[in-house]
Structure 1
Amino acid sequence: MPFNIRTTLSSPSDGEFVLSAFDAALPHLASIGSCEQWGSDPFSANPERCARAHAWITASESYRRTGSGDPVRAFIAEARLPSLSPSLFNKELETRTDGEGREWISVAAAVVKEGYFPAYVAERPQFEELVKEEREKGGSVYLEAMISDFRTGELRKGSGAATLVAVKSYAATRKARVLFVDCWAGNDGKLVGFYEKMGFVRIGEFAAPRPEKEAWPGMFLKMELL
């Protein structure tokens, strides 16, 4: 299914979509043995996660319009709503009607940031030298978040790959050399395998501390773009 990648975003509606998509992923993760990835508490009930999701949208729009400030860009993948059985998508979800009367529904989102490395990766001793070199050279983009909305059923299938293509195209416009990502490495590395299928290669494993819980097992990956 072809997707429309929307880069002109609205606040707070797109921030709410991102939070809802993360919330909707939690039952699926539990069903496949990956409940430890994000836990069971809704993202929308966590003030810090709520603030981060809305900050992504706000920063992305500011950077898109002005080219200055925090170099964050967010991408929303949309699927066109065909005349299908109501069981194939949730009619309660918000849709968008374009200028030609076509109806679209948001199915996935991604957030990238230039020249960025999260502290839980940058501060790991095994990555310190690599991160230092990358910051000195410049030309890196970090895939900070990517999520598809399980509420949209079959309409979301393939949206992750489509969104990643948009991310790579954006990185090319920024003349980026490399795209980085990290992900949860538990449950036999199922998520790591997804990113490898998308073209990423492993840099190394790490353990990221989290308050009042055991450190979560992570994998740091990269994709050469040039």
Structure 2
Amino acid sequence: MGKVTDGTEWTDVRRGGADDVPAVMALLDGAVQWLTARGRHGQWGTEPLSGSRRLTTLISEIAADGGLHLAVRGDTVVGALGVGQPPAYVGPAPEHELYVVLLVTDRRHPGEGLGRRLLSYARRLAVASGAGLLRVDCYAGDDRALVRYYESQGFTATQAFTVPQGEKQWPGQVLEQRLG
């Protein structure tokens, strides 16, 4: 789809590549710091995610597959959207879909609509690909604030799941949105 500029915001969305992986990892580290400062350790823990080889490899693979899209302001990455195949713990959809595998925004810009802007972009990508369904999964623990965020963006909660993490279970929620 190329670069898209929204005149109501000073944010562009462009495709990301391998060179953008460190910026995405920095966004994830910022999100962990923000969550930790609020006592919300369940989603991503307390340690910087940039130290995770597994996650860095995953973001690199999303970029290599053409599924990484970045919200940028000038030369600064302020958000990242990754689309691709659903993770193994989520069953495939019975129809053509676009799956959001990553959504993170710069926590230094709260309330500016960056997540909304990237989800809108994901909807356009889905429609352009012929998909009638957009799905995402997220952390469903604590007070389910992230689930409520996606519901406020027009998604409907469908499948709840858990992922084993050592002796604990990470609670998750799949959400979907039908596209016209």
Partner of 2:174: 220
Partner of 2:77: 106
Do the aligned residues in 1 keep the contact of 2:17 with 2:68 (CA within 8 Å)?
no
| Cα-Cα RMSD | 1.7
Aligned equivalents of 2:126, 2:70: Cα separation in 1: 16
Do the aligned residues in 1 keep the contact of 2:82 with 2:101 (CA within 8 Å)?
yes
- Larger CA Rg, structure 1 vs 2: 1
Task: Return the letter of the residue paired with 2:170.
Answer: W
Following superposition of structure 1 onto structure 2, how do residues 167-182 of structure 1 map, counting pairs within 5 Å? 167-182=122-137
Which of 160, 175, 184 aligns to 2:139? It is: 184
Runs of 4+ in structure 1 off by over 6 angstroms are none
Aligned equivalents of 1:77, 1:207: Cα separation in 2: 30
Which of 38, 42, 46 aligns to 1:40? It is: 46
Instruction: Determine whether 1:11 maps to 2:18.
Output: yes
Which residues of structure 2 form unaligned runs of 5+? 1-8
CA drift at 1:117: 2.4
Do the aligned residues in 2 keep the contact of 1:107 with 1:155 (CA within 8 Å)?
no
CA drift at 1:49: 1.1
Partner of 1:196: 151
Aligned equivalents of 2:130, 2:160: Cα separation in 1: 28
Aligned equivalents of 1:108, 1:39: Cα separation in 2: 20
Q: TM-score, normalised by structure 1?
A: 0.71
Aligned equivalents of 1:156, 1:76: Cα separation in 2: 18
Partner of 2:119: 164
Q: TM-score, normalised by structure 2?
A: 0.88
State the secondary structure of the residue aligned to 1:76. strand
Do the aligned residues in 1 keep the contact of 2:62 with 2:83 (CA within 8 Å)?
no
State the secondary structure of the residue aligned to 1:147. strand
State the secondary structure of the residue aligned to 1:26. helix
Number of matched pairs:
172
Partner of 2:99: 142
Q: What percent of counterpart residues are identical?
A: 27
Which residues of structure 1 form unaligned runs of 5+? 61-72, 81-95, 97-104, 123-130
Do the aligned residues in 1 keep the contact of 2:160 with 2:171 (CA within 8 Å)?
yes
State the secondary structure of the residue aligned to 1:121. coil
Which structure has the highest helix share of the two?
Answer: 1
Aligned equivalents of 2:86, 2:141: Cα separation in 1: 21
